[in-house]
Structure 1
Amino acid sequence: MNLTSYTHIYFLGIGGIGMSALARYFVAQNIEVAGYDKTKTELTTTLSDLGIAINFEDEVSTIPSHFLNADDTLVVYTPAIPKGHRQFNYFKEANFKIVKRAELLGHITKNTFCLAVAGTHGKTTTSAILGHLLYSCDVPVTAFLGGISQNYNSNFISNGTEVSVVEADEFDRSFLTLSPNFACITSMDADHLDIYGEASALKDSFVAFSKCIEVGGKLFIKNGLPLEGITYGIEDNADYSVQNIRINEGSYVFDVKTPTTLIKDFKFNLPGRHNLSNALIALAMAVEFGCPHQQLAKALASFSGVKRRFSYHIKNENLVYIDDYAHHPEEIKAVYQAVSEMYPGKMVTVIFQPHLFSRTRDFIDDFAAALSHFDKVLLLEIYPAREMPIPGVDSAWLLSKINNPDKQLVSKTELLRILNQNTSQVVLSLGAGDIGEEVYQIKQTLNHAS
């Protein structure tokens, strides 16, 4: 694929977090961009502000006329686009060049020094930290993120195009289109079993990804994973290890043991051992890339986090409200660990919206066990995303398995009424569906109740 032959790029699903980062990239390259999405969101509004024409009606007539030339228009789509999509089928029947988002990302990064972040958890935070570290060390980097970096208020960081940072997405094996120079694997927990069928097939895909690394490249792996590479871990014997962990005014302070030295007194503001692990692997990749230790320490201390990744919306002596994207049992457990460490002895209410019928079915007991740790559980109905309902799989079933007497199934409308009577000192909203759109109202309700 010769990208230089295209003067126009049309995105089907342009409002997706990964798609919108690519749209921003091409705008920066002075390529004309337009696209379709199902609904208006904060992301589509920011893209429109860049001058991108976006339509929200699946009709061929809504496609701008100057994007109807197959010779100069490339069409990019997300797997979430349904088979019966009118615009997609028009482009297909008219013989436009059509590529998946992952294929295009692989092509863009092919001629860069690519650092790829893979794993079933931690990709977005790790890649955001890594992009920030390289940018702060004056590396000519472009980072495509799966979330909104608080430092840049964007999912796209650009300081040049010689180096790239990408999330290597295991969903539908998209990461096999990449050819990274450095790659890390943060975790290989079972997930996406609607795609893979068996956990072993998911693990096989990570093994296949590890073989996509360019000759002479480096693989970084969480200590304990069944792969060979540079290892990293927390207070263990890994090649890169966090040591001497302290908490100072709500921030971690720690040392990093590398294969050759000990670097002292890093500061990191995100809570939770899972985030500490994310920071470590980003540091390890940046160190191996050649970034100076002193600049890295300053950059890490200035990292502000990623929207919907342990995002504080209320933080005072009487009440804390945190919103997080956690949608897998291991992620819920990580959030609980972080809250317990930062707010010991405080009463914690969790609001959880399950994501996907298949994921709820496949990990029902693990979800129940993870949620049972909290003092109070408010459970919303399952967010279906791309799926049709599965008979017998619903939030009532999950609720019945949660071992906690203070639990209830609630609608979004009931949720606000219940929160009006809130007595918990810490409130969490978790999930990968549309619960993030409720954050403002939850915040307003909690502030009023307190």
Structure 2
Amino acid sequence: MAQLDKYKKVFFVGIGGIGMSALARFFHTSGYLVAGYDRVAGPVTEALSREGILVFFDASEQVIPADFVSAEDTLVVYTPAVPETQSQLVWFRKEGFDVFKRSRVLGMVTESLNAVCVAGTHGKTTVSTITAFLFHNSSLKINAFLGGISKNFGTNFIGSKDADFVVLEADEFDRSFWQLTPYAALITSMDADHLDIYGSIDEVKAGFDGFAQRIKSNGWLVLKAGLPVPEGLADNVEVISYSITRDASYQAINIKEEGDGFTFDVETPSGRLNNFRLTIPGLINVENALGAITLSLLCGVTEDEIRKGLPQFSGIARRFDVVFRNAGRFVYIDDYAHHPEEIRATLKSVRSAYPQCRITGVFQPHLYSRTRDFADGFAETLAGGLDDVILLPVYPAREEPIPGISSELILEKISGTKVCLSSKEDLLENIERLNPEVLVTMGAGDIDRLVPVIRKWAEETKG
């Protein structure tokens, strides 16, 4: 962290993002003065305020606190989700501040530690969070920057002043993961996504190649079995595979449902490890846990520490999150799925857990460009996994509207399944009309704001 020693204060432009807020928490707990702007209030900004970090929602440069107007000792961190024309960003640059993307600062923070980096177009948040939990419950000391709110810790940052390892989610958006230098890396998937950045699946793969090429010599690359081995790896990087369905270096076998979770064994290059127990639902989470187990074993977490720690893992907010359940009457699950392959994996796990139930899904498309690029895939996976589909309007995030692109584009392509468009205001009415046995909400936008509303409705009508 030598590059950061000259700063005493850190200002975040876009502090409410999950990655930005983890960095803000790191600097705050490390003794820096921290403040930041975000567009709207939400659960993350409210939590940051409770923790003593100043957060405000006015984008003008006039509201920048006096403590943060000295370029000599103030670092400015921003997210690419904020437009380059944002007034505070423009002012900081004009005044000669050091203004860095989140990914660059994350690279600075992690450069002096053994970085365990989890990448992939889906699954990386769960794998990195389970990995961090297993490390934390071992003899190893870690920092962790997570892409979701761990239910065990109630936060997306885990800190230790004498850490040897840092566990983090390696974000492929904007090629941010090229700023990292992993000691060990894991790739869960390489599906076409962020095509507004990459342009094609070939460029997506090239992006992951570039990430893998940054793994240190004598490090590890852990790949989900079936993914192509990236080109140009450093000398002596060992490639290791994992899978729950096919032969691999580390393979989960004897998978059995047990209550809301699973038991399984793991075949490894050195022999079989028996009797692992996972207490969260969703077959996809066995695969995620296997990836985390593989990373943990490679980095020195013991078999016994994993066997003891894994059952205590209680999940992540918005990752196959069972929000409400009344056995035999109604189940409500919330998930961050916002790509066709993520939706496919989520709904496959839901259908496996509740094979005889009528399943209704509420989906909020995220970004106009992703809706345009994957309308066929969204329609196919939603229709294939659900009995009823409710589509909310597109959440634009950083984008301006694209003519002709809306949720109706997905609706027009769905066949064989009941589907309707709904405003947020009419959502409960539409859910009540369909009377589902299992309800799943999905999306990466602001659909999370509706989760407490739906939960309250479920408690009052299904409890």
TM-score by length of 2: 0.95
* Displacement after TM superposition at 1:346 (Å): 0.6
Contact 2:358–2:387 (Cα < 8 Å) also in 1: yes
After superposition, where does 1:133-212 map in structure 2 within 5 Å? 133-159=134-160, 160-212=162-214
Q: Which runs of 4+ in 1 moved over 6 A?
A: none
Q: Does 1:217 align with 2:215?
A: no
Give the match for residue 89 of structure 1. 90
Give the match for residue 333 of structure 2. 322
Aligned length: 450
SS in 1 for 2:118: strand
After superposition, where does 1:394-409 map in structure 2 within 5 Å? 394-409=406-421
Aligned mates of 2:417, 2:322 — CA distance in 1: 27
* Displacement after TM superposition at 1:335 (Å): 1.1
* Displacement after TM superposition at 1:445 (Å): 2.3
Contact 1:420–1:445 (Cα < 8 Å) also in 2: no
Q: Deviations over 1:66-125 (max 9, x none)?
A: 211111111111111212111111110111111110000011111001100000001111
After superposition, where does 1:305-320 map in structure 2 within 5 Å? 305-317=315-327, 318-320=329-331
Q: Does 1:261 align with 2:281?
A: no
Contact 1:181–1:218 (Cα < 8 Å) also in 2: yes
Give the match for residue 369 of structure 1. 380
Contact 2:282–2:320 (Cα < 8 Å) also in 1: no
* Displacement after TM superposition at 1:405 (Å): 4.2
Give the match for residue 314 of structure 2. 304
Give the match for residue 251 of structure 2. 241
Contact 1:376–1:406 (Cα < 8 Å) also in 2: yes
Give the match for residue 412 of structure 1. 424
* Displacement after TM superposition at 1:439 (Å): 0.8
Give the match for residue 100 of structure 1. 101
Contact 1:422–1:446 (Cα < 8 Å) also in 2: no
Aligned mates of 1:195, 1:432 — CA distance in 2: 18
After superposition, where does 1:350-361 map in structure 2 within 5 Å? 350-361=361-372
Q: Deviations over 1:115-150 (max 9, x none)?
A: 000000011111100000000003110000011000
Amino acid aligned to 2:203: A
Aligned mates of 1:246, 1:239 — CA distance in 2: 21
Give the match for residue 30 of structure 1. 31
Q: Deviations over 1:267-309 (max 9, x none)?
A: 1123233221111011001001111101101111111111001
* Displacement after TM superposition at 1:341 (Å): 1.2
Aligned mates of 1:415, 1:48 — CA distance in 2: 30
Contact 1:75–1:98 (Cα < 8 Å) also in 2: yes
Q: Deviations over 1:357-380 (max 9, x none)?
A: 111111111111101121111111
Aligned mates of 2:184, 2:45 — CA distance in 1: 32
Aligned mates of 2:458, 2:305 — CA distance in 1: 40
SS in 2 for 1:351: strand
Q: Deviations over 1:209-247 (max 9, x none)?
A: 110001111110011111061011114210000001111
Aligned mates of 1:285, 1:419 — CA distance in 2: 41
SS in 2 for 1:58: coil
SS in 1 for 2:31: coil
* Displacement after TM superposition at 1:449 (Å): 3.6
Contact 2:3–2:108 (Cα < 8 Å) also in 1: no
* Displacement after TM superposition at 1:444 (Å): 2.2
Give the match for residue 444 of structure 2. 432
Q: Deviations over 1:319-360 (max 9, x none)?
A: 100111000111111111111111111110001111111111
Give the match for residue 15 of structure 1. 16
Aligned mates of 1:387, 1:404 — CA distance in 2: 32
SS in 2 for 1:372: helix
Aligned mates of 1:284, 1:72 — CA distance in 2: 41
Contact 2:387–2:417 (Cα < 8 Å) also in 1: no
Structure 1 portions without partners, runs of 5+: none
Amino acid aligned to 2:164: E
Structure 2 portions without partners, runs of 5+: 231-238
* Displacement after TM superposition at 1:54 (Å): 1.7
Amino acid aligned to 2:288: N
Amino acid aligned to 2:443: G
Contact 1:273–1:338 (Cα < 8 Å) also in 2: yes
Aligned mates of 1:267, 1:208 — CA distance in 2: 35
Q: Does 1:279 align with 2:281?
A: no
Q: Deviations over 1:34-62 (max 9, x none)?
A: 11111111111211122212221112221
Aligned-residue CA RMSD (Å): 1.2
Contact 1:243–1:255 (Cα < 8 Å) also in 2: yes
Q: Give the percent of matched residue pairs that are identical in Structure 1 and Structure 2.
A: 45
Q: Does 1:392 align with 2:404?
A: yes
